Copies of this chain bind each other. A is one copy, B any other.
């Protein structure tokens, strides 16, 4: 097991922006080994006071919307403005094959060479729509390592957007031009959480299509709930291919951050996200601890049998098992 000295070294390496240490620290944070979890907790405790200085941007959209190209163009723009960028990718689209398809770093080949860019695919949970459970903590580590813009990319399949939305300051949805019918349904939940929607691939013969889609989206947004009272969700068009409209995305994000900071809602949102994080951790902890309880382990098979024989319902079994664990109120 690592000593306190090792944890101090990890923290110092992180603080100096050492990428190798950052990678190692993320691996420790993601580890399921209990020794590593103790280290992760100590490291996190040292890191937390130094987090929060970046702008955290969530980027989502269906496969084929051109998220990677857009991030590549946006990244180049941000690098030219002397930012350090961490890009965390989440792909929950496959439930049976558990590996991350987005592991292929070459999708952002221009960025991956640059020392001011850190790209990390984060492993996903067990479900379609599941989200990497340590993405939040990874954001914090990247911030301590000096990255001042964190991009969390995810594929647009539902649950993962909500999770990403709950850990970023600004949520951007990447859309391609499409028919009104397709747009209408699938984007309902998404439109409500997006701070901006950018219609990508506005190039060549596709320009008028994208402008039409922009108009449809603007009309739809006009009718629906907005993400918050202080900010009306904006719709942009861009071409990642021809590098047009990319600067506008960044200017919009800056405008958003300025407005939100000036009226404190930036910090209120972050506070709420920290609370949400606590509840996520708590939910996971009680589940792990419960199933790890000796009495539960001894009784669970028998309860399953009684359910099979229709003698009890799953609700009876659940109540019985809980009573094995909980201290009697007095």
Contact = CB atoms under 8 A, between A and B. Distances in A.
A7 to B, nearest CB: 13
Interface string A42-57: 0011001100000000
Nearest to A279: B314
A30 to B, nearest CB: 14
Contacts of A204: none
Nearest to A49: B310
Q: How large is the interface on A (under 10, 10 to 19, 20 to 34, 35 or more residues)?
A: 35 or more
A309 B283 CA distance: 21
Contacts of A248: none
Contacts of A189: 92-96, 128, 157
A155 to B, nearest CB: 7
Interface in A178-223: 181-182, 184-186, 188-189, 192-193
A4 interface: no
B329 A326 contact: no
Nearest to A62: B186
Interface in A281-307: 281-287, 289-290, 293-295, 303-304, 307
Nearest to A318: B285
A23 interface: no
A128 to B, nearest CB: 4
A92 to B, nearest CB: 7
Contact of A158 (B157, B295, B324): B157
Contacts of A96: 189, 192-193, 225
A41 B293 contact: no
A36 to B, nearest CB: 12
Tell which of A193, A294, A314, A327 has the most Cβ of chain B within 10 Å. A314
A64 interface: yes
Interface of A: 37, 41, 44-45, 48-49, 62-64, 92-97, 101, 127-130, 155-162, 181-182, 184-186, 188-189, 192-193, 225, 271, 274-275, 277-278, 280-287, 289-290, 293-295, 303-304, 307-308, 310, 312-319, 321-322, 324-327, 329
